[in-house]
């Protein structure tokens, strides 16, 4: 039971005793308390009625890892003082609190500053200050907002990827000298035995009939066609695929990898697009420029891994956008053994595919990604592996790709 109800019951008892017993002193005491409470209520109302808070302009966009400063000035325009004002910033920004208790004399002001550390991507409210003040006895607390808030969007972190290349070199061996369809030149240079994942369009029927084994033509690279026009980032935001807790999740790692790749290639003047589906579908066609970078980062800041479409369904549904001039970078948790079929369909349409797997086991999954990784590598896909706690720049270092591929090949 709060103090206000206790006071009401107390006043009712005094009034009842005063009326029934005819005690004049009690009646006067009752009137005195009522007047005192009315004055307290008037004090509370006046002490907050002319409070105003000015908030210095802050950025409406920030990035994970950055900091900025908020500055507030609370002014009392009343002719009466405002003692014991409790101020609190109404914000949903994780890990940030701005609370202060102060007193303001008549027509005075107070300024304070806080530092905001952007730790989590997403949209948040900041800048709305709520004050709580009351009468000296504390029976009539009054709360009200004295400043309007604003929304800030925190973009995902990006890391530098100086050594990530779209065409990492491989050592010789299974699948190592095979050029994906979009790198094929007009002339076949040799014929070899079919390997699972080869395009059926390249089957050499004459040799197949002669040897009795399925044979395919292998082409020399046509360097004139090796300059890709579009880079597509395809990000798996299917709810059932995600693992991990807090910020150490496949969702956050995948978004950081995607944002880093987008920034790398847009800064280099390449055309980059984004395909993903989470709380809603995102399809940003390949473009260049700073505005396009901001649009993609904004989308990555807002997306949530609540999608109903698995990554293979996403690739199949957006296949018409992946042309012969496309490089497709697929970012996904590793626990999806059925992805190879959809990736082969991309290759059959003359696209080139790079797969970045997020090691599900390291994020708390029950199965290791080795089989899936070895299989994708063996049939010619460029595969990178990112584990929880691993530096992304090192995981996507193409200089180390040859040794990783050799390791996978030896375990096939």
**Bigger pLDDT: 29 or 332?**
332
Return the beta strands (E) in 214-351 as ranges: 215-221, 230-235, 244-245, 248-249, 271-277, 281-287, 326-333
By the 10 Å C-beta count (0-12 exposed, 13-18 middle, 19+ buried), 381 is classed as buried
Same domain? For 390 and 306 the reply is yes
Same domain? For 227 and 325 the reply is yes
Kindly report, residue by residue over 270-286, the tens digit of the pLDDT.
Answer: 999 999 998 889 999 99
Kindly report, residue by residue over 303-353, the tens digit of the pLDDT.
Answer: 999 988 888 888 888 878 877 778 899 999 876 666 777 777 777 665 688
**Bigger pLDDT: 95 or 301?**
301
- 306 lies in a domain? yes
Assigned token pair, 357 = 């797997």
Same domain? For 273 and 400 the reply is yes
**Whole-number pLDDT of residue 213:** 81
**Bigger pLDDT: 14 or 191?**
14
Same domain? For 283 and 398 the reply is yes
Checking 291-298 for CB contacts under 8 A at 24+ apart, the result is 292/266, 293/262, 293/263, 293/266, 293/267, 294/61, 296/259, 296/262, 296/266, 296/272, 297/63, 297/155, 297/156, 297/259, 297/262, 297/263, 298/153, 298/155
- 349 lies in a domain? yes
Assigned token pair, 70 = 């908020």
**Whole-number pLDDT of residue 119:** 93
3-class SS of residue 142 = strand
Beta-bridge mates of residue 71: 113
**Whole-number pLDDT of residue 140:** 77
**Bigger pLDDT: 231 or 36?**
231
Range of the domain at 126: 49-155
Same domain? For 105 and 233 the reply is no
- 7 lies in a domain? no
- For the chain, give the mean pLDDT: 81
What integer is the mean pLDDT of 225-238?
80
Identify the band that residue 186 occupies on the pLDDT scale cut at 50, 70 and 90.
very low
CB 334 within 8 A of CB 357: yes
Ramachandran sector of residue 95 (left: φ over 0; alpha: ψ -120 to 50; beta: rest): left
Q: What total of structural domains would you count in the chain?
A: 2
Kindly report, residue by residue over 42-80, the tens digit of the pLDDT.
Answer: 877 777 788 899 999 899 999 999 999 999 999 998 888
Distance between CA atoms of residues 23 and 165, nearest Å: 94
Q: Kindly report the CATH number assigned to the domain that includes residue 124.
A: 2.60.40.10
Assigned token pair, 123 = 């949209």
What integer is the mean pLDDT of 217-221?
56
Q: Which of 158, 153, 160, 159 is nearest to 121 (CA)?
A: 153
Kindly report, residue by residue over 77-122, the tens digit of the pLDDT.
Answer: 888 888 888 999 999 999 899 999 998 888 899 999 999 999 999 9
Distance between CA atoms of residues 81 and 404, nearest Å: 71
Same domain? For 274 and 133 the reply is no
CB 392 within 8 A of CB 359: no
Residues whose CB falls within 8 Å of the CB of residue 388, separated by 6 or more in sequence, listed in order? 244, 248, 253, 359, 362, 363
Q: Kindly report the CATH number assigned to the domain that includes residue 350.
A: 3.40.50.410
Q: For residue 172, how many other CB atoms are within 10 A of its CB?
A: 8
Q: What is the DSSP code (8-state) at residue 402? A: H
CB 124 within 8 A of CB 152: yes
Same domain? For 303 and 381 the reply is yes
**Whole-number pLDDT of residue 171:** 38
Identify the domain boundary among 155, 180, 213.
155
* H or E segment to which residue 347 belongs: helix 339-348
Say whether pLDDT at 262 is over 90.
yes
CB 185 within 8 A of CB 159: no
Identify the band that residue 197 occupies on the pLDDT scale cut at 50, 70 and 90.
low
Same domain? For 151 and 225 the reply is no
Identify the domain boundary among 108, 128, 155.
155
- 29 lies in a domain? no
Say whether pLDDT at 379 is over 70.
no
- 257 lies in a domain? yes
Same domain? For 253 and 126 the reply is no
Share of the chain above pLDDT 90, in %: 39
What integer is the mean pLDDT of 155-162?
94
Ramachandran sector of residue 331 (left: φ over 0; alpha: ψ -120 to 50; beta: rest): beta
Distance between CA atoms of residues 65 and 119, nearest Å: 6
**Bigger pLDDT: 266 or 380?**
266
Q: Which of 169, 146, 138, 66 is nearest to 100 (CA)?
A: 146
- 13 lies in a domain? no
Same domain? For 241 and 104 the reply is no
- 73 lies in a domain? yes
Same domain? For 149 and 229 the reply is no
Positive or negative, the CA dihedral 6, 8, 10, 13 is negative
Identify the band that residue 13 occupies on the pLDDT scale cut at 50, 70 and 90.
confident
Same domain? For 250 and 123 the reply is no
**Whole-number pLDDT of residue 345:** 74
- 168 lies in a domain? no
**Whole-number pLDDT of residue 286:** 93
Identify the domain boundary among 155, 171, 197.
155
């Amino acid at each position: 039971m709060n103090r206000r109800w206790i006071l009401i019951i107390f006043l009712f008892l005094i009034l009842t005793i005063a009326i029934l017993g005819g005690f004049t002193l009690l009646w006067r005491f009752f009137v005195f308390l009522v007047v005192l409470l009315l004055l307290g209520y008037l004090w509370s109302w006046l002490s907050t009625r002319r409070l105003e808070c000015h908030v210095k302009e802050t950025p409406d966009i920030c990035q994970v890892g950055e900091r900025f400063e908020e500055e507030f000035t609370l002014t009392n325009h009343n002719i009466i003082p405002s003692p014991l004002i409790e101020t609190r910033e109404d914000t949903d920004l994780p890990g940030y609190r701005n609370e202060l208790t102060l007193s303001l004399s008549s027509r005075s002001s107070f300024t304070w500053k806080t530092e905001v550390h952007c730790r989590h991507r997403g949209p948040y409210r900041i800048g709305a200050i709520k004050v709580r003040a009351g009468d000296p006895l504390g029976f009539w607390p009054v709360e009200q907002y004295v400043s309007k808030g604003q929304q800030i969007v925190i973009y995902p972190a990006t890391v530098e990827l100086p050594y990530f290349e779209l065409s990492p070199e491989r050592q010789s061996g299974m699948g190592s000298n095979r050029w994906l369809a979009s790198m094929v030149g007009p002339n076949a240079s040799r014929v070899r035995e079919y390997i699972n994942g080869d395009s059926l369009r390249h089957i050499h029927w004459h040799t197949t009939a002669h040897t009795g084994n399925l044979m395919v033509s292998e082409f020399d690279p046509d360097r004139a066609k090796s300059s890709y026009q579009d880079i597509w980032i395809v990000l798996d935001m299917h709810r059932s695929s995600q693992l991990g807790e807090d910020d150490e999740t496949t969702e956050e790692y995948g978004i950081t990898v995607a944002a880093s790749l987008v920034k790398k290639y847009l800064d280099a003047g390449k055309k980059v697009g984004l395909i993903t589906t989470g709380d809603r579908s995102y399809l940003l066609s390949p473009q260049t420029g700073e505005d396009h970078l901001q649009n993609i980062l904004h989308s990555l800041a807002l997306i949530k891994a609540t999608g109903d479409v698995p990554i293979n369904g996403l690739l199949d549904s957006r296949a018409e956008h992946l042309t012969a001039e496309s490089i497709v970078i697929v970012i996904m948790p590793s626990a999806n053994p059925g992805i190879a079929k959809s990736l082969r369909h991309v290759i059959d349409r003359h696209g080139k595919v790079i797969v970045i797997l997020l090691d599900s086991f390291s994020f708390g999954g029950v199965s290791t990604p080795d089989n899936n990784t070895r299989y994708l590598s063996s049939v010619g896909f460029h595969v990178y592996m990112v584990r929880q706690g691993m530096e992304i720049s090192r995981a996507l270092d193409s200089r180390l790709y040859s040794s990783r591929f050799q390791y996978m090949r030896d375990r096939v």
